[in-house]
Structure 1
Amino acid sequence: MGQPAEKQRRATYADLEAVSPNKVAELIRGTLHVFPRPAPRHARASSGLGAELTGPFDHGKGGPGGWWILDEPELHFPDPTAPDEIDALVPDLAGWRRERMPELPETAYFALAPDWICEVLSPSTEDVDRSREKMPIYAREGVRHAWLVDPIARTLEVLSLVSGRSWERGPCHRDAARVRVAPFEAIELDLSVLWAK
């Protein structure tokens, strides 16, 4: 009879803190995921989208205001599979309605789930970002809107939380489309500003 397989140790927040600062690290259900810093096309898409949304929604310039729009916030959620442990996620962009979060927290992380997240996909992060890992946690925590931006395919996929449990795929917008997309449909978004030229 063979030896029982050794149980893999669950990663902790201390493991995440030990990751080199030139990497992006996330802790998902006890597994540490470490990625390189975003490539130029990824950074361009994320920066461009943040710039388009911050003026009208965060600052209220040319739009309704009422949001906090933040780059790469660290989110901490209880890990239901392990008491006293957390899932630590870092979406590329996230937004909170100010009516739900009137002030920014004093901590270095956010315990309140955002109303909207955006993940900019890259070959090294797509599997974790798209479905298998992070999206079920965002659904579990009640994030109502998710955008998946692919700077190589030049697409914006729109997802909405249905019945507080699962994601419903909406339209997939491409290239230089001009779109109005929930929850930011108050402005028309020109997707061409997201892609490297």
Structure 2
Amino acid sequence: MGDGNGSGKGRPATYADLEDVPPTKVGEIIEGELVVSPRPASRHTRAASRLGAWLDGPFDRGQDGPGGWLILDAPELRFLPSGDALVPDVTAWRRERMPQLPDVPSFSLAPDWVCEVLSPSTYRWDRGPKMRVYAREGVEWLWFIDPLAEGLEIHHLREGQWQLSAAHLGSGTVHAAPFDAVPLSLGKLWSR
């Protein structure tokens, strides 16, 4: 996400280290390193919010779409035994794996789909270490949205390796797996 600060104690970061992260920042533990980043900028937040809004009706609530998903913005994922604690921008679980939302502060069940909205401060973490963690945990689909370049990349996990499934630029309408049942107008993600 941002510049890795490490635990500052010559050891892998722990969940206790996250408690010292100020509320004006986002703290994650990625491959043993405490990573503290600024809160997302406006275009980043707008793209994530618009994407979540688009997914909610047809995929979470089943309005004018197939339903079958539980969609969440910026949940904390905690994976054991690795100790990774990630905060993706938007996530989704298939309802057969998570029938209803549990009342928990963080999730240990890996999502089926993750979207990371890229920014200069998160780019190297999202496209490197976080990608590896998502593959290790078995996340099936990973999207990268770049609101500055106005682009969407779709990656699919096959046999433990990410494969680029599709890349889209601009403001056209696309059918983006695994949510290809309902067309996505990319221009809505970039609108100000």
Provide the TM-score with structure 1 as the length reference.
0.90
Structure with the greater alpha carbon radius of gyration: 1
Q: Give SS of 1:110's match.
A: coil
Identity %: 57
CA apart distance, 1:12: 1.1
Aligned to 2:129: 133
Question: What is the one-letter code of the residue matched to 2:153?
Answer: E
Please list every run of 5 or more consecutive structure 2 residues that lacks an aligned counterpart in the other structure: 1-8
- TM-score, structure 2 as length reference: 0.93
List per-residue Cα deviations over 1:86-139 (Å, max 9, x = no partner).
100010000001111112222201110000000000000000001x21001101
Q: Distance in 2 between matches of 1:180 and 1:174?
A: 13
**Which of residues 8, 13, 16 in structure 2 aligns to 1:14?**
16
SS in 2 for 1:152: coil
1:149 equivalent to 2:155? Answer no
Q: Which residue of 1 aligns with 2:74?
A: 72
TM-superposition CA deviations, 1:139-166 (whole Å, max 9, x none): 1111000100000000000100011x11
1:83 matched residue in structure 2? none
Q: Is the 8 A contact 2:31 2:133 kept in 1?
A: no
Query: Unaligned stretches of 5+ in structure 1?
Result: 1-6, 81-85
Task: Give the 3-state SS of the residue equivalent to 2:178 in structure 1.
Answer: coil
* Residue 33 in structure 1 maps to residue 28 in structure 2: no
Query: Does the 8 A contact of 2:147 with 2:189 survive in 1?
Result: yes
Question: Match for residue 93 of structure 1?
Answer: 90
CA deviations 1:13-46 (Å, max 9, x no partner) are: 1111210111111011221000101001101100
> 1:186 and 2:188 equivalent?
no
Pick from 72, 94, 104 the counterpart of residue 101 of structure 2: 104
User: 2:168 & 2:85 partners in 1: Cα distance?
Assistant: 29
Aligned to 2:170: 175
**Secondary structure, counterpart of 1:49 in structure 2:** helix
